[in-house]
A and B are shown apart, each in its own frame.
Chain A
Amino acid sequence: MSHTPPFRLARGGRLIDRAFQVPFRFDGRHLRGLQGDSLASALLANGQMLMGRSFKYHRPRGPIASGAEEPNALFGLGQGGRFEPNQRATTTALLPGMMLRSQNCWPSLDADIGAVNSWLSPIFPAGFYYKTFIHPRPFWKHVFEPIIRHSAGLGRAPTDPDPDRYEQAYAHVDTVVVGGGIAGLLAAQRAADQGGSVLVLEQTAIWGGRTPVDHPGGQARIDDLLADLRGRGNVTLRRNTMATGLYDHGYLLAREALADHDPNQGIPRQRLWRIRAGHVVTATGALERPLAFACNDVPGVMLASAVRDMIVDYGVAPGQRVVVVTNNDDAYRTALIAADAGLEVSVIDARRTADGDLPQAARARNIPVLMNTGIAKVKGGRHVEGVVLCDAEGEGKATGGIDCDVVAMSGGWSPVVHLWSHCGGKLTWDEPQAMFRPNPERPPLGADGQGNVSATGAANGDLRCAGDLERAEQPTMPVWCMPRNAPYKLRSKMWLDFQNDVKVSDVELAAREGYASVEHTKRYTTLGMATDQGKVSNINGLAVLSKALNQPIPQTGTTTFRPPYTPLTLATIAADARGEAFQPLRKTPMHDWHARNGASWEPVGHWRRPYCYPKGGEDRHAAVNREILAVRRGVGTLDASTLGKILVKGPDAGRFLDMMYTNMMSTLPVGKCRYGLMCSENGFLMDDGVVVRLTEDSWLCHTTTGGADRIHGHMEDWLQCEWWDWQVYTANLTEQYAQIAIAGPKAREVLERLPGSIDLSQDALPFMTWAEGDIAGIPARVYRISFSGELSYEIAVPTSRGLELWERLHEAGRDLGITPYGTEAMHVMRAEKGFIMIGDETDGTIIPQDLGLGWAISKKKTDYLGKRAQSRSHMKDRSRWQLVGLESLDGRVIPDGAYAVDEGVNPNGQRKTQGRVTSSYHSPTLDRPIAMALVRHGTERMGQVIEFPMPSGEVLKGRICDPVFYDKEGARLNG
């Protein structure tokens, strides 16, 4: 049987400019389209109906739609970093030089070996994977899953970085109208009359929706509306902007395509709008439904609306001979338009009568119209060659046939209810029109409990929303299976989900197997799980399911509509947050010095801190060892600027800090420092640091780097919510000061070489005191505190002068071998001294008592945060794991986090444990491994050996010891 491939008509095409040819490549072939073409229209104009392969059976696929719902005509587009998979040919504008690649086929679209799946389709029913890959068990992981993963997914992910720029923007609008068709423009006019700001979003580049195609005089009406809206100061019209999702509180996401058509102009390619809408009007139109008849998936079977869009918009005929098959009057528009374009047309109508204006007009044009007739099956494999006709109510017995190239089907229309549904709007089943439409009684609710979304036009089920442009129509007759009593043989060839190859028989099988819930049926059959997310298949599928379950359609309900309406690329979501702007990088004033001096970085929150400063080919381990020895034997500097510094001031500040810390801070004399612990209400240790008494009514609290913001918030939480009548103010001064620790036996010598007003001598500034003055001409506070165990000063200066002081110290100490040290040297040195580290020795379940820090818990205070919790029986339990030191028996470092096993197994059959390593290092000072661990009854078990089995099967052994490994007497603190 010969057929006419699709072709460009001699005239027509409201969106194309025949004067400008556009060359492009399709699977390597050089083709030409016209300016204004979509990819789909350009390919059809070149005679190319075959545009893809279905996912499961690799059956040949042509386009069936003309918009965002297209499930078949998907391509890999572009090259290199701009390659994008799964681009819909129907909504992508043709650009010069475009490169299209067909997907899901091998070796080629024309000769796809995977099509063998189609011949085997009787053994690939719904649920095939679930049923087949259960046994033998190990096969899933090693055989089935790798094969399925290899063949899964349609397009391939790009491998190169996206070279384009993307951005986000915020908008605040009184009314957002989604959809730039006639209903949306009319709604915008009404909203604008109320005086508030109005934003109209249209997903395509063209205003007007279906009206210009479907109604004579439609374009003029749209032009009038646009002219009116453009003249209003409170209306913004934004094209190429697809509303992707609606969230709580009128938060609407929309994607604007700015430079998809010309990515090289240097502006952002796409923009993600984050809109706060007072009210959202969904004017999102409706999608035409396919009809389920046998072989309705053969290329050339299209939606009736898509056929007339191709003719009217692009001057493209999908074939010479068109059969329109319908259950409604609207599809007659396609017949009339095709006849106007000079194509051969017949209409097959499943209804008994059709006497509306449009059918009458068709008959008047001498278009053959067959009533009460259906399609028994489509003839042809790779393209439509004809249809076999039958009684619409019968079992499919052939009553005739028509040779044709195109079948234009219409099963009625379904309102686009996605945005309405995203945020909780409910649907109602409209029996006369056979559609789910928004239930105006149950809209999505705003913060005030009132509806904040309304639907209008076709999106609201009003399919005849073009006012006086409309013509009298007769009702649609629901047709969920054509012919009504089709036998299994035909039902097993009726496609519902064209991309995922889900057929009427698959949904019926699921129902027979007990899948009563539409959500379960969806996942079992993959109905609606294709890239169109059920836009084409949803309603037909659940109607078939309802029939199989013998229940009304509203009882079956719909699956959940979730954002996005059409896919967003990750690049659009990430927007500017890539490369240097990926995350804020917090920098101390010495950051660049560290970089220049070869710092090997460690991320600490959003900060980067030098882990160490490798020199001359050193690895990190060697650098850390060198830095530690330099400090222990001479002098080193640490950038401690990231430590939190919170000023607490007021008549009740002492009382407040006594509650915040486990120890007593109110009695700390002015001029002194005290190490403090902070617990949560549940008693667990959450932060630690040195508290400084600045004046009679002010304290400066140092926190860990990660605690700076958190502890400040914690303090304000208690002050604002619980102790609102206490007179205390706090200020987070973390970034006001650069802080430098200078540590080592020669620290004082270096400091004293700089001119200054502060007496740094042991008598004037003993351990745990502080002084204020200037050093090297810089206003400074000097704290005699030590985290390394060495003679140590921490010097705080205004941030803007931190680098200056750092450089002055290094100049002054150069001949003494002054060495910058990083966080790891700090960690090792504190572990040598048995000092705990929040996050190493603590994990949110540790109380100070576990860590031998009972000395830092005031016995005199009546209360502090955590006190009551710490008196609970579990906290007092003597079998809680306690902090101890560990000596490795064989000289190897026991890995951090390793568990010490106990005798026996727990109820899960796992070895019981009795402790774990919390910190573990090689100590260069002692030249042996050191570790800290939490061990059951640890402090009573000095000298005992516990075992740490490794994943390799080896067992490391550690002897329990005191956690202070170095300078137990603290003699080195004074240099």
Chain B
Amino acid sequence: MAEALATVTRVDGLGMISIRADLARAGEAIADAAGLALPDMTRITTDGSRWLGWMSPDELLLILPAQDHREAQTALEQALAGEHALVADVSDLRAVFDVIGPHADDVIAKLSPADLAAMPADGLRRSRAAQTAAGFWRVEGGFRVFGFRSTADYLHLILRNAAIPGSQLAPR
């Protein structure tokens, strides 16, 4: 039996902080507090353990190891003191999966209408996977996919179904 197109693994232990602010004014302060560069539109920056993703013109998402979460939230709140801003703990709001393998692109292409060829290496796409909202960015060997926690089982199932052995998209 052929190999699966990619392995699909649930990723636990991540904290997430949603940040809404005027990025033109407060972007640098946020970046400093997050310890990462401010991402450009539709991009994500990382130091290997933390990620700062552009979610909308006035929204960022900081993803980091759960144990660093409280400290980071405090730092962000302090950095944004006096600004009109919203910093919210959303660590429990999402489910995260790694889709890693030689044909990880095919798995995503079966579920999301995003144009992967047009997505830069540091791109972050908020899209959908079949019938549920999902976003993703590239990690080594594949993608990190996030969706809502309530549909985690569905997301896990459709990712695995899309990865079944022998179903790569290349013409045969």
Mark A residues whose CB is within 8 Å of B.
165, 167-172, 197, 236-239, 258, 265-268, 274, 276, 576-577, 580-581, 583-588, 606-607, 647, 649-651, 698, 727, 729-731, 733, 735-737, 798-800
In the complex, the answer to whether A238 meets B92 with C-beta atoms within 8 Å is: no
CB–CB B167/A267 < 8 A: yes
Cβ of B131 under 8 Å from chain A: yes
Query: Contacts A731-B18, A799-B149 known; A266 to B109 CB distance under 8 Å?
Result: no
Q: Give chain B residues whose Cβ lies under 8 Å from the Cβ of A798.
A: 89, 91-92
Query: Quick one: given A170-B112, A276-B115, are A267 and B166 in contact (CB under 8 Å)?
Result: yes
Contact A585 B113, CB 8 Å, known A239-B171, A267-B166 = no
| A-contact bits for B139-155, CB 8 A (1 contact / 0 none) | 00000000011111111
Nearest 8 interchain pairs by C-beta: A586-B150, A799-B92, A729-B86, A172-B115, A584-B154, A267-B166, A729-B20, A584-B151
Q: Is the CB of B149 within 8 A of A576?
A: no
Contact flag A731-B165 (CB < 8 Å), given A171-B109, A276-B115, A584-B131 = no
Q: How many residues of B contact A (CB 8 A)?
A: 46
Given known A-B contacts A576-B161, A581-B158, A170 and B109 have beta carbons under 8 A apart: yes
B115 nearest CB neighbor, chain A only: A172
Tell me the complex Cα distance, A606–B164, Å: 26
The docked-state distance in angstroms from the alpha carbon of A95 to that of B118 is 41
Query: Which of B1, B109, B164, B167 lies at the interface centre, i.e. has the most chain A CB atoms within 10 A of its CB?
Result: B167
Within 8 A of A (CB), among B76-125: 84-86, 88-94, 106, 109-110, 112-115, 117-118
- Find chain A residues with CB under 8 A from B154 CB: 580-581, 583-585
Instruction: Find A651's partner among B84, B113, B152 (CB 8 Å cutoff).
Output: B84
What would 29 A/B residue contacts be, using CB atoms closer than 8 Å? A170-B110, A170-B112, A170-B114, A171-B109, A172-B118, A236-B171, A265-B166, A274-B113, A276-B115, A576-B162, A577-B130, A577-B131, A580-B157, A581-B130, A581-B157, A581-B161, A649-B86, A650-B86, A698-B86, A727-B84, A729-B20, A731-B20, A731-B86, A733-B88, A735-B92, A736-B90, A736-B92, A736-B93, A798-B92
Once the chains bind, are B157 and A800 in contact (CB under 8 Å)? no
The answer to whether B149 touches A735 (Cβ under 8 A) is yes
- Cβ B92 vs Cβ A585 within 8 A: no
Residues of A within 8 A of B1 (CB): 266
Q: Which residues from chain A contact B157 at a C-beta distance below 8 Å?
A: 580-581
B166 closest partner in A (C-beta): A267
Cβ-defined partner of A733 (8 Å) among B90, B112, B131, B172:
B90
Which of A168, A169, A583 is packed against the most chain B CB atoms within 10 Å?
A: A169
Q: Nearest chain-B residue to A728 (Cβ)?
A: B84
How far is the CB of B79 from the nearest CB of chain A, in Å?
16
Q: Is the CB of A167 within 8 A of B171?
A: no
Residue B132 lies at the interface, judged by CB distance under 8 Å to chain A? yes
Contacts A165-B161, A587-B152, A647-B88 aside, 17 further interface pairs with beta carbons under 8 A come to A171-B109, A258-B167, A267-B164, A267-B166, A576-B130, A576-B161, A580-B154, A581-B154, A584-B155, A586-B148, A586-B150, A698-B86, A729-B58, A731-B18, A731-B90, A735-B148, A800-B92
Is B41 interfacial (CB 8 A cutoff)? no
Q: Which residues of chain B come closer than 8 Å to A169, judged between CB atoms?
A: 106, 109-110, 169
A171 to B113, CA, bound (A): 8
B contact residues around A577 at 8 Å (CB): 130-131
A585 close to B151 (CB less than 8 A): yes
Contact of A170 among B92, B113, B131 (CB under 8 A): B113
B70 to chain A, nearest CB (A): 11
| Residues of chain A within 8 A of B158, CB atoms compared | 576, 581
Q: Give the one of B21, B84, B132, B162 with max A CB within 10 A.
A: B84
In the complex formed, the residue of A with least CB distance to B92 is A799
B56-75 contacts to A, CB under 8 A, are: 58
Q: Is the interface of A mostly helix, strand, loop or mixed?
A: mixed
Residues of A within 8 A of B169 (CB): 169
A577 to B157, CA, bound (A): 11
Least Cβ distance of A437 to chain B in Å? 30
Q: How far is the CB of B45 from chain A (nearest CB, A)?
A: 22
Q: A577-B130, A586-B151 are in contact. Are A736 and B84 (CB under 8 A)?
A: no
Residues of chain B within 8 A (CB-CB) of A237 are 171
Nearest B residue to A200 via CB reads B171
Residues of B with C-beta under 8 A to A650 = 84, 86
Which residues does chain A contribute within 8 Å of B172, judged by CB atoms?
Answer: 258
Separation of A197 and B117 alpha carbons in the complex (Å): 11
B110 engages A172 (CB within 8 Å)? no
**CB distance A587 to B171 under 8 Å?**
no
- For B131, the chain A residues whose CB sits under 8 A away are 577, 583-584
Q: Which of B92, B94, B112, B153 contacts A737 (CB 8 A)?
A: B92
Complex contacts, A258 vs chain B, CB 8 Å: 167, 172
A710 to chain B, nearest CB (A): 14
Per-position binary interface string of chain B over residues 1-25, scored 1 when its CB falls under 8 Å from any chain A CB and 0 otherwise:
1000000000000000010110000
Question: Closest residue of chain A to B107, judged by CB?
Answer: A169
Residues of A within 8 A of B148 (CB): 586, 735
Contacts of B58 in A (CB 8 A): 729
Interface-central residue, A170, A606, A607, by most chain B CB under 10 Å: A170
Is B93's CB under 8 angstroms from A266's CB? no
Considering the complex, give the chain B residue whose CB is closest to the CB of A709: B133
In the assembly, what is the distance between CA of A800 and CA of B15, in Å?
A: 12
- For B150, B167, B169, which residue has the most chain A Cβ atoms within 10 angstroms? B150
Task: State A168–B151 Cα separation when bound (angstroms).
Answer: 20
Chain A nearest CB, measured from B101 CB (Å): 16
Residue on A nearest B112 in the bound complex, by CB: A170
Measured in the bound complex, the distance between the Cα atoms of B95 and A587 in whole Å is 12
Chain B minimum-CB-distance residue to A802: B92
Chain B residues closer than 8 Å to A165, beta-carbon distance: 161, 164
Shortest distance from the beta carbon of A799 to any chain B beta carbon, whole Å: 4
Task: Kindly provide the distance from the CB of A411 to the nearest chain B CB, expressed in whole angstroms.
Answer: 36
Min CB distance A184 to B, Å, is 15
Nearest CB of A to B65, in Å: 15
Cβ distance B20 to chain A, nearest Cβ, rounded Å: 4
The interface residues of chain A lying within 8 Å CB-to-CB of B115 are: 172, 276
Q: Kindly provide the distance from the CB of B96 to the nearest chain A CB, expressed in whole angstroms.
A: 13
Most A-side CB within 10 Å, residue of B110, B117, B164: B110
Assess A735 versus B93: contact at CB under 8 Å? Given A276-B115, A729-B58: yes
Once the chains are docked, how many angstroms separate the CA of A580 from the CA of B130? 13
Q: Which residues of B contact A586 (CB under 8 A)?
A: 148, 150-151
Closest to B85 in A: A729
